[in-house]
Structure 1
Amino acid sequence: MTLPLQYLRSILYTVQIYIAMLLFGIVFAPYALLSKNGARQACKTYARWAIWSARWMVGIRCEVRGPVPQGEVIVAAKHQSFLDIMIIFNALPQAKFIMKRELMWTPVIGIYAKRLGCIPVDRGRRGAAIAKMVKDVAREFTEPGQLVIYPQGTRVAPGATVPYKSGIGVLYDALKQPCVPVATNVGLLWPRTGILRKPGLGVVEFLDPIAPGADRAGFMAGLEAQIEARSDALMAELGFGTDGLHHHD
């Protein structure tokens, strides 16, 4: 397929998923306002649409590997693009996300995030933000579910080095739940910036859970090592870093 044609397909795909977000948001609104389950089904329907339409519009096939957690766990995920959010949310039975506070004020996304019990975090306030996050998580966990957090705090381009933040360690200590690391390679196909979507197999992989009770430093080091090594391996499946070096932006 020629590059100009793939750009055109990428533009059309991007336009339609934003239109679909608005349409799904409006159609499901009465159901979502009546129940959290309604909001969850709306978001799962949208996620499935985004995944399905990516396959035939831009050639991105999506695959979930590893055992998908079902109970109360922390899910610590590598975050490379919008697509990994969709795949993880669609795979988990009752996901709720820790997300930057600004997103809670966006149309459609913000309304549904609040209904799902997602936890807003003010990234500029550091210690105070972490303390409030732990308090908010404890309040929201009156219902069982999987709490998804991005340990690096933002989308990270393939090969870029961004430190893992302390918030995941604080949550691990406070909640005393297993933590499931998640690796991905989708940023190679759906980049953090830019419009071009590239065909290929995008993978999200749930790794072996880390049992509660480890010391925080050991937990943080082990989590980062697992996620980064497995993400590198998944990216290598798409030919990234075959020279043995990370490629930076």
Structure 2
Amino acid sequence: MNALRSLLFNIYFIGGTALTIIIGVPMLAFPPPLLTRFIVFWATAMIAGLRVICGIRLEVTGMENLPPGGVIIAAKHQSAFDTMVWLKLVPTSVYVAKKELLDIPGWGWLARHCGQLSVDRTAGAAAMRTLVRETKARLAEGRPVVIFPEGTRTAPGERVAYQPGVAAMAAASGATVVPVATDSGRVWGRRAFRKTPGVIHVSILPPLPAGLPRATLLAQLEAAIEAETARLYDPQGDVDKSGERGQG
């Protein structure tokens, strides 16, 4: 039964995404806010489908820790789920994504039109300067910037070195950095066909102190995210640790 539900969701996800691209491309002729609302609708529909088809719910805690306006959201990345959840939670947010993703015909056009940011990992310091400049522009518009500081998806329990880009962005912009932990990979694994019924927890932690040196910020960010992710991860089963009503 679980395999069938996973198959149905994958069809729903791929089909819904393809339809979004088909409808969205003509919308490139209109101002970005219109297309942004349409993409937010897609993300909301995908998360709702995940609940209905696969029995996977979203539980969010700590929304009170997220300041209004332009902040840097530094989030744990375990699943494709993480790449759309912030469109539902904070519809004005933009993601920092690999350049290759935003170069994909169709979807990449929509993402760029909506103001999503790209980073070219092969371009070195020049890419970082471009990312910092564009980050400052989005923050000035009052739009939160979501970045995955590990730079890649990781499996539950896996740890990789955090990349310095988030610290450079914070230092150049003076923006508040908000750590976020999740256990999304527990029910939707990296490149996994099968989705496991359960709860995806997203835990928004208190912002880091302003004005930290880059190395200190990166160390405190990693410590906060990894400690909370370890707390969320329960290998014995799906236990809702939040004690609060979910948003998904």
Q: Please give the TM-score of this superposition, normalised by the length of structure 2.
A: 0.88
The one of 115, 123, 126 aligned to 2:124: 126
> Aligned residue for 1:23?
19
- Report which structure shows greater RCO (CA 8 Å, sep ≥6): 2
Q: Does 1:50 align with 2:46?
A: yes
CA distance in 2, matches of 1:227, 1:206: 9
Change (3 A) 1:106 1:180: same
Q: Please give the TM-score of this superposition, normalised by the length of structure 1.
A: 0.88
> Aligned residue for 1:66?
62
Q: Does 1:41 align with 2:37?
A: yes
CA distance in 2, matches of 1:166, 1:148: 15
Q: CA deviation at 1:142?
A: 4.6
CA distance in 2, matches of 1:238, 1:218: 34
SS at match of 2:200: strand
SS at match of 2:234: helix
Question: Which deviates further from its counterpart, 33-42 or 178-187?
Answer: 33-42
> Aligned residue for 2:77?
79
CA distance in 1, matches of 2:58, 2:200: 5
Unaligned 5+ segments in structure 1 are: 241-249
SS at match of 1:80: coil
The 8 Å contact of residues 24 and 46 in structure 1, kept in 2 or not, is answered as yes
> Aligned residue for 1:163?
161
Q: Which residue identity does 2:147 align to in structure 1? A: I
> Aligned residue for 2:213?
215
Q: CA deviation at 1:32?
A: 4.9
Change (3 A) 1:234 1:35: same
Q: CA deviation at 1:237?
A: 7.9
> Aligned residue for 1:112?
110
The 8 Å contact of residues 150 and 162 in structure 2, kept in 1 or not, is answered as yes
Question: Which deviates further from its counterpart, 180-189 or 23-32?
Answer: 23-32
Question: Which deviates further from its counterpart, 219-228 or 68-77?
Answer: 68-77
> Aligned residue for 2:151?
153
SS at match of 1:236: coil
Matches within 5 A, 1:174-185: 174-185=172-183
Q: Percent identity?
A: 34
The 8 Å contact of residues 71 and 139 in structure 2, kept in 1 or not, is answered as no
Q: CA deviation at 1:96?
A: 0.7
> Aligned residue for 2:97?
99
> Aligned residue for 1:246?
none
> Aligned residue for 1:9?
5
Deviations 1:157-202 (A, max 9, x none): 1111110001111111001011111110010100012201000000
The CA RMSD over aligned residues, in Å, is 1.8
